[in-house]
Chains A and B, each alone.
Chain A
């Protein structure tokens, strides 16, 4: 038995908002793979829960009328990875969420839960950051949309106000069209492990594939929340596709990231793998985009 004081099951998003207003102390439970474990550990013992797990309207991946990829917040990681839309438009997101936990966790874990718990190591988060995803939130005042970079406030703190529910994650067409990306999870095991560091890179090349039209990069576990590395992005933009550019790009991430020492890894080690994963993910993204990396310096 879980130490749960009360459970309120929401049948719709509006119902969830109403329940959260009626029970201001209650916390939201989606798939529960974090919340239930925290209750078991005693960290959230005695909680009141509003379960949104039964709201099927919040499941599924579709293209909206603007061509944006819309992922319902309760869509499981395995359903995201299996979605033909994700495979066609943003395959790296499917690859990233296929590295979460193990198969059973990917069936219960939701992308909404992965982002709302505000954890820096979330495997979906750095890729969503790197693709300028937008978070859709419904609450008593209506619907609002927040860029995911602003959604994350601090470790474990996201921009969810009282009685609000995250309903979808949206990747606008201009954010994915022409971009190719790669995610590298650095962890001790290949399954059932949390990232020591996660690095998601994507690039858009010029029509002749010789120049970096745009480069975007985000890290998990390089700071208290998932974060972009704007210095690296600026350093690569407009440069030729070359080994030197990959070098400049990956070195520049050190200007932005703020990893810490933890039992999982030392700060210096995280900095080292941040540079290395940035370089590898950058090179892989270029290859996926049809570019060829020349060896000689330009």
Chain B
């Protein structure tokens, strides 16, 4: 049987994009191979580790178990989309650095995208809520506590700035 492709249109990191997608591709394949968005990591590839996590229409998804064709019409945000106009990193990325929440860094982009989903809610989550919301990420360098601190600190800072 001949290969099957589908034309899709979507928004990736704020820009309208078009792609001819192999129906067998995952969204991870699409983002990495077609758009060179290599913050999206290939970890377990079965939806367990969270290294490929991206926001789709504002919600977190493991892009490894999301068919690329489903991205048609969606608004996708990867870590690269957090970059400021002059190439600066975002507050949550800086907090990960400050709290030593990065060791090998493989889980970091995915974890930060879960943090972004939390921060976008613009409300104060309890410690337990933060832990639950960050629970879809495996960090083999065991930086969980530091990751938790980075997320909480940024959440409180943003809420303080809004007052």
Contact = CB atoms under 8 A, between A and B. Distances in A.
Interface of A: 1-7, 9, 29, 32-33, 36-37, 40-41, 51, 53-54, 78, 101-105, 107-108, 190-192
A108 B66 contact: yes
Interface stretch (B18-26, B78-86, B150-158): B18-26
Contacts of B46: 37, 40-41
Q: Across chains A and B, which 4 residue pairs bring their CB atoms closest together, nearest first?
A: A102-B136, A191-B135, A7-B23, A1-B24
B61 interface: yes
A2 B50 contact: no
A133 B19 CA distance: 42
B54 to A, nearest CB: 9
B26 A104 contact: no
Given A101-B136, A192-B135, A33 B29 contact: no
A2 B138 CA distance: 23
Contacts of B91: none
B24 A103 contact: no
Contacts of B24: 1-4, 7
18 contacts: A2-B24, A4-B24, A32-B66, A32-B67, A36-B65, A36-B67, A37-B47, A40-B45, A51-B67, A53-B70, A102-B50, A103-B133, A103-B135, A103-B136, A107-B59, A191-B132, A191-B136, A192-B138
B95 interface: no
Contact of B47 (A2, A33, A51): A33
Nearest to B70: A53
B53 interface: yes
A102 B135 contact: yes
A236 B35 CA distance: 61
Given A29-B67, A36-B67, A108-B62, 17 more contacts: A1-B25, A4-B23, A5-B1, A7-B69, A32-B65, A36-B47, A53-B70, A54-B70, A102-B135, A102-B137, A104-B47, A104-B62, A104-B136, A105-B136, A107-B61, A108-B65, A191-B135
A118 to B, nearest CB: 20
Contacts of B4: 6-7
B60 interface: yes
Nearest to B25: A1
B48 interface: yes
A7 B136 contact: no
B114 interface: yes
A154 to B, nearest CB: 26
Given A1-B29, A7-B67, A191-B132, A103 B114 contact: yes
Contacts of A29: 67
A289 B122 CA distance: 34
